[in-house]
Amino acid sequence: MRVPFLTLAIVLSGTAIRAEMPEIQQVSARMAETKSRESATVRNYTVLRHYTLAVPHAGHVAEMMVRLTYTYPGHKKFDIVWERGANSIQKRVMRKLLTAEEDASRFDTRLTADNYNFQLEGMEALNGRQCYVLRLAPKVSNKYLLRGKVWVDAADFAVVQVKGTPVEDGSFWIRNTRVSQQYKKVAGFWLPAMNKADSDVRIFGSAHLTIESLDYQISPSDDENRAEVLSRRPPLE
């Protein structure tokens, strides 16, 4: 009787695991709720971004520190704090990165059902937290969307990691771009922590870009400001 009992235990265990997996519509809906709630709360913030671009074949490395100011509903302002390294890379690539990000902020690149078809592939532990793993397939024509995977925190239903390739892979000069973005929890909100992109550049060979986000300063929403002002008022007599 041991073998049938063991078989039954395995079957029941597999059934329990499947029962815990939600429908993809539930996961995407909870993702949208989390993002909407964060957008309503985090209206303004500043963050320092450290850009590093390495082109090993040419022996070039360029760095740039930028202060990013975000203002709801998607406006981004970039102020260069300092920069150093190969002047040609700074002028041709680094500053164009900022222009490209400003341009991307004018498009809807959110991980929503309007932009993507999602397929739930399973669960995976990431940095000690259980995550749902979703396959991403863009459903609209937008050069800033990705084909790949997204990891969604199973408790917060927030995006914690994205990996993929752009719908439009670069240009004549840049191709085979692979993108990875990790998020971290700051004051209860999941915000970008580290971006990495590896590309093949026709003249220089492979290029590696890293963007590290440092020292977030989150400003309270207007509702929170009003609540704080009201809490400081003396009681009515």
pLDDT in the model for residue 4: 47
The stretch 49-53 carries a mean pLDDT of 93
pLDDT in the model for residue 234: 40
Residue 69 has pLDDT above 50, yes or no: yes
Q: For residue 32, which of 122, 139, 157, 154 has the smallest C-alpha distance?
A: 157
pLDDT in the model for residue 33: 93
pLDDT in the model for residue 90: 63
Q: Residue 168: helix, strand or coil by DSSP?
A: coil
Q: For residue 27, which of 186, 159, 185, 163 has the smallest C-alpha distance?
A: 159
pLDDT band at 199 (very low <50, low <70, confident <90, very high): confident
> Taking the CA atoms of the chain, what radius of gyration do you get in angstroms?
22
More confident residue, 128 or 141: 128
The whole-angstrom separation of Cα 83 and Cα 61 is 11
Fold assignment, 26-216: outer membrane lipoprotein receptor (LolB), chain A (2.50.20)
152: CB partners within 8 A, 6+ apart: 27, 31, 131, 132, 133, 134, 158, 159, 160
pLDDT band at 123 (very low <50, low <70, confident <90, very high): very high
For the chain, list the strands marked E by DSSP. Answer: 44-55, 60-71, 75-85, 116-126, 129-138, 146-153, 159-166, 174-186, 189-201, 205-219
The whole-angstrom separation of Cα 191 and Cα 166 is 21
